[in-house]
Chains A and B, each alone.
Chain A
Amino acid sequence: MIQTIHLTKKYNSFLAVDDLSLTVNNELFVFLGPNGAGKTTTIKMMTGLLQPTHGSITINGIDLHKNPIQAKQCFGLVQEQAYVYEKLTACEFIQFIASLYKVPILKANQKMEQLFEIFEISDWMNDLIEDFSHGMKQKVALTAALIHDPKVLFLDEPTVGLDPKAARNLKELLRGLVNKGTTVFMSTHILEVAERMCDRIGIINKGKLVALGSLDELREKASLQSGNLEDIFLKLTGSSEMANVAKYLEEA
């Protein structure tokens, strides 16, 4: 379970995240928002990479600020850019991460092989990561995040760079993990992924949570009888830009 209370992040006078109170429990939660809305900042605060200006975060009932080590043991994180140790082989990297989470060696190796098979990178497990493509690095980062069976999984744009097959496998995997009791907190720009997979959606705009609920609940909030997530998203985050696009095309 993830719980944030009055979570706020300020950079001088700029309010990146404004008073975010949210509870996510045993579900696949998708966090949507335009560029610069505060999605990545929120995830970074939830994982201890950034310190909140105000507010608190608890992961599985453990206060991240007071007990960071115990809280960190509960979650896995995949960032938008898979910054993995380029001078390690994929196998060495996963074994290193497993040791940090004190995963027994045998279990770690078995899980690593399974996950590498799923993501189809087994043939390169003994190659240096510096030779990998962006998508392959993303797959290694996903394996690292899953190696210790986390109760909570944070994913920041996890499908960026993945091939369609790997993206599909990831979706299936996430659904399965949620069914087994894992909480998944995912930010994405791909609305189709959000629409098809998620249990609930949170929409953030200019640091503020503007909508929260299931797809039907959001449709209701946006006063739309029908329409897909894209329509809802544009309605809730403002669509004045569309008028600018039309004007530009008219003048072009």
Chain B
Amino acid sequence: MLLTLLKFRLYRFANHFTHGGTIRNRRRLLGFIAALFFSVWIFTQLQRLFSTFVLFHEHGSSLVLNFLIASFAGLFVFLLFSGIPVILHFFCLSKDTPLLLATPIKAKTLSQYKFIEATIANSAVFLYLGLPFLIAVGVAAKATAFYFILAALAAVLFLVIPTGLGTAIALLLLRLFSAKRAKNWAVAVMGIIFISIWAAFQFLRVSRLDPTSPDFNPVAWDTLSDLASHPYLSLLPSTWLAKIWMFLSQGDVGQAVVPAAGLFLLSLLLYALSIWVAAWAFQNDLTGNQAKSILFHRGKEMRSKVTEASSTSTHLPLFEMMRLNFRLLKRDPRQFTNLLLFLAMMIVLPFTAQTDARSIGEPWSSYYPFLFIVIFASLMAAGLSARMIPMEGYSFSFPMTAPQPMQKFITAKVFATSSVCAVLTFSTIIIVTYETKSSISVFCVVLAAVFGAILSSAGVGSCMGAAFAKFDWDHPKQMLQGSGNLVLSLITAAIFAIGILLIIAGHFLYNIAAGLAFFALYSLLLTFLGTHLASKRLERLEWSF
């Protein structure tokens, strides 16, 4: 039965390509090519690093091992946390689960099927992150084909472990929350973990470990050298995998046996345990309990403390619309995570850019670290503003039938987006100004430019959101249909470039204040145009849901 289930799952996967339509297939191909380029880029970086280690250090291979240990530890933690929402999806929220539960399939078989499905889905990231490592280690050590086969097998065992641990955590979460809410929060936690790992790896990035690079950092080098002595790291399965690969690449099979046995036993144990626990959960309807949280509130005093007000006072519709948008944002952990990701990039990237700033002359070198803040603030505002419209989902029929102009709804969304982005960006500007010891005048110019960029991007974003909104989205990535995300990024980049050119032109023609004044006018114009076009588009929308 398990084979039958897997066979039809394979058919479903294949149908994505054979019946997906030309545009979708092209998009998939484009995504695949992008992922391939990313993998090749990682591979070249790694190869350069590994050969540098071997060239510049007498214990080069131990440095390679330490680098593998650090990278795999990050990957393991990421796979563990990304596994939780994946497991919650496949075990509880996937549309085929109720269907399969109603058929005479053993709970154990269903658990095995779901576990395999979740492991494959969660391991996709390993294909384009782990594979370059596997090849780079093999190439650096001039390993035989034997290494590549065994290393790939070890990787499969390794990938079972985060899914196994994730299943235990996911089922524990189901005791406390409904599957949907647990998944939302798991996604948020995964985002934070991803951001933390990414920020940590900015410290251990390739150029910092390369003695020939101007960015070379001796502290990072020493940290990497001492990594193997860390007691906790040796307990992680990722460390075992790193050791297996390293020993196998050197042809030392004997040394690889102990970590391989550990990896095999742990993966087998976790697989068996997960299947058993998941089968129990299926039999006890734990996975299907959607309304769990509401049952928890039974018997609790839930009567409202409704607002005291005079008999004639009313809420301002614009204010209430903004409040609605803030609530939608605040209560959707996926949006929250997306904003955190931008925030982390805005904080980290200016520091990595400080080296490049030295080569630029004054006054622009003072502004250079803030360039990333302006870019990411614009992208964040445009993206968020565009998503704000489809974020309403099917509930958008309420604004459509409400006795309020559509322009007001869009303006509320642009204001809400701008406020959130402005607050986040302001905090990063403060941090970067403090750390780079920038002057007050630079701070003020940057602040004005950033706020202008946020407002104009939010305006343009709302226009794109209205044009490409997909109200029946399942995943936040699908909120904009077709090439919406690509068009949005290109247009944001274009308006950003024009804005920066206006500031520079104003500066050369008169002074920086004139440049900023040009930019402010340009921003206001774009905001007005964006909201106006968005409302016109939505007023003509045919609501077919």
Residue positions of A touching B, CB distance < 8 A: 44, 47-51, 69-73, 75, 77, 79, 81, 83-88, 91-92, 95-107, 109, 112-113, 122-128, 130-133, 144
> B331 near A47 (CB under 8 angstroms)?
no
Given contacts A104-B311, A105-B314, A127-B294, contact A49 B324 (CB under 8 A): no
In the bound complex, what is the Cα–Cα distance between A18 and B298 (angstroms)? 50
Interfacial residues of chain B within 526-545, with CB under 8 A of chain A in the complex: 540, 542-545
Q: Would you mind naming 14 contact pairs between A and B with Cβ atoms under 8 Å apart?
A: A48-B401, A49-B543, A50-B542, A70-B403, A77-B397, A83-B397, A86-B393, A88-B327, A91-B306, A100-B404, A105-B309, A106-B309, A106-B311, A132-B291
With beta carbons under 8 angstroms apart, the residue of B297, B307, B324, B545 that contacts A85 is B324
Contact A122 B303 (CB under 8 A): yes
Q: A50-B542, A130-B181 are in contact. Are A77 and B403 (CB under 8 A)?
A: no
**Contact, CB under 8 Å: A87 / B402:** no
Quick check: is B462 within 8 A (CB to CB) of the other chain? no
Interface window among B266-274, B315-323, B371-379: B315-323
Taking a contact as CB atoms under 8 Å apart, the answer to whether B400 and A49 are in contact is yes
Minimal beta-carbon separation of B468 from chain A (angstroms): 20
What would 9 more interface pairs be, CB under 8 Å, given A69-B405, A85-B398, A124-B297? A50-B542, A83-B393, A86-B393, A87-B327, A100-B320, A104-B310, A105-B313, A125-B302, A126-B302
Q: Does B252 contact A (CB under 8 A)?
A: no
With the chains together, A51 CA to B539 CA distance in Å? 10
Which residue of chain A is the closest to B307 with respect to CB atoms?
A105
Q: Is B294 touching A104 in the complex (CB atoms < 8 A)? A: no
Is B332 in contact with chain A by the CB < 8 A criterion?
Answer: yes
CB distance from B315 to the nearest CB of A (A): 4
Q: Which residues of B contact A (CB under 8 A)?
A: 178, 180-181, 291, 293-294, 297-298, 302-304, 306-307, 309-317, 319-320, 323-324, 327-328, 331-332, 392-395, 397-405, 540, 542-545
Q: Are B397 and A103 in contact (CB under 8 A)?
A: no
How far, in angstroms, from A77 to B404 measured CA to CA in the complex?
15
* Chain B binding surface SS class: loop
The reply to whether B297 and A125 form a contact with Cβ atoms under 8 Å apart is no
Q: Which residues of the partner chain B approach A127 to less than 8 Å between Cβ atoms?
A: 293-294, 297, 302
How far does the alpha carbon of A97 sit from the alpha carbon of B403 in the complex, in Å?
Answer: 10
Q: A83-B545, A87-B332 are in contact. Are A125 and B393 (CB under 8 A)?
A: no
Contact A73 B302 (CB under 8 A): no
- In the bound complex, do residue B397 and residue A95 qualify as a contact, i.e. CB atoms below 8 Å apart? no
Complex Cα distance, B540 from A113, in Å, reads 36
A128 to B314, CA, bound (A): 24
Report the bound CA distance from A211 to B331 in whole Å.
48
Distance of A154 from chain B, by nearest CB (Å)? 9
Q: Which residues on A sit within 8 Å (CB–CB) of B323?
A: 96
B302 and A123 within 8 A (CB): yes
Tell me which residues across on chain B come within 8 A of A128, comparing CB atoms. 331
Q: Are A131 and B291 in contact (CB under 8 A)?
A: yes
C-alpha gap A101/B312 in the complex (Å): 13
- The verdict on A130 contacting B327 (CB below 8 Å), with A51-B540, A69-B404 known, is no
